[in-house]
Structure 1
Amino acid sequence: MNAIRSLSALVAAAALCLALLGCAAADPAVQSTENAISAIGDVVLSSRDAISAAREAYDGLSDAQREKVGNADKLTEAEALWEDEYGAKLSQVASAISAIGKVTLESEAAVSHAESLYNLLSTDEKVLVENRDDLFAARKALSSLEEEEASKPKPFAIGDSVDSGKWHVELVDAYTSTEVADANALTSFVSESGTFVVLEFDMLADPGTRDTIDEKVLTDICARWNGQEYGNFDMQYAPGALFVSAKNTIFDWTGTLHLYLFAELPREALGDLVTVDLKVLGENKQAVIR
């Protein structure tokens, strides 16, 4: 009888153990996590989503369930391999983009650095840079700022010059006066009721250059005084003893030409602050006259 009872107890204990093992094997969360890890397979760039899904499943388990995941080490191996092969350089690019910050005219180095790192990536890797749109926006914003800055006139003081492949244009004087006169010219321009704003240039072109000054050299001319704009400028040079118009005139250059550029303003502008915006060989310039 005792033997029968002992055998019955042994059978019951074995049944209990089998039942417990069966419960563990049948835990759907553990089995699902193991399947997700197995689904990773060989680690390639596109494995990121599978690795993330497996990690999310594993982290969602209880501590007791995690101990039953037989292939958990494969998950950490896959994560380390993907990070070493792809994650580090993607993070480097993303960090370089974030480091750009607010775009200013001084952002060129930061934007170019981020672009150089980004361009080293493969097409598929570039898609995984989560803030790449920020890089595109930064370059666009920087280009807009540079265009805006380029459109602003740069200071053009007496003694400054602009050179091109065949032209040299130097501002030799800038002033306001009631008279425009050359020491050797019989003709002068005198204002009875106003004042002239005058810019004088020395202009030198390569031999054989045949251009009109008002179309090729000095353009978009506008004086500003007391909130008003004055754009009716005249161009004169003094060959010999007479002032001659330089507008719409084709010159066959053989030497330096001294050119007077002037417009009439109210008499109150005499000795006052006047600015003249113009393009010199296509460059935006501004002369400030006091």
Structure 2
Amino acid sequence: MTLRVGLLGTGPWAWKAHAPALAAHPGAEFAGVWGRRPEAATAIAEQFGARAYGDQDALIADVDAIAIALPPHLQAQAAVAAARAGRHLLLDKPLAATVDDARAVVEAVDAAGVRSVVFFTLRFDEGASGWIDTQAAAGGWFTGRADWYGAVFSGDASPYADSPWRREKGGLWDVGPHALSVLLPVLGDVTEVHAARGRGDTVHLVLRHEGGASSTAVLTLTAPPAGAGVAVEFRGEHGVATYPEGINGPAVDAMARAIDALAGPEPHPCDVHFGLRVTEILAAAEELLG
């Protein structure tokens, strides 16, 4: 059965990941796209063989599932509306900008009985997800770290630098979900959060996990370009496991795997419930930062 999918959003991530993955996926029909900029919706529709919609509700009514590439506060509103209409949801991280909004999405999904996937990129990348699963299965970890040094606002022109929500929320909310999507499946849920500010938008997290392990994370979008990058490491009974360089594939391939998960018969671990938990941790850190 082909899954008819509509896309809400026309920003850089919609162009880079959502639209090409939907257009190429053998089990999906890219049925339509809506955006706050009608001209951008028309451009995506023309390039990827979809229909441009001028009304968000009309697109929701015409499809089986909705993919959302909107800022977190708008994503939550649209996700609630789509779930209440009985549509399956392919969402982005973070799930919402507040815990209340994230809970509203979860409640709407649970009440409607629809499927949901939140696109934490590494959890759908074939190489990255395999490495994470291996560490989770190994167990016996004493501590871990997951550092994301982005240069969105400090390097050359980035297509994501014009995002108002990224400027407001910074690295904690933009790359923080990536770090948590690696730490939680390996070390367990978070039971204690500590946070401190660094230069620019930099946030340092210290976390305690339910099994007794601890972890740290450095999160920023304003790192010096020469110092940008990702570093993930676990230490424990088996020694040291370091995230390998060069195992990540193209984002569009990871998005295709997310579409597979949405269409599959079994719930994926990265559903709206996991998205809510990540939002709760981020909100707790934000509150500590004042």
Give the TM-score normalised by the residue count of structure 1: 0.25
The one of the two structures with greater contact order (alpha-carbon pairs below 8 A, sep at least 6) is: 2
Greater gyration radius: 1
Q: TM-score w.r.t. structure 2 length?
A: 0.25
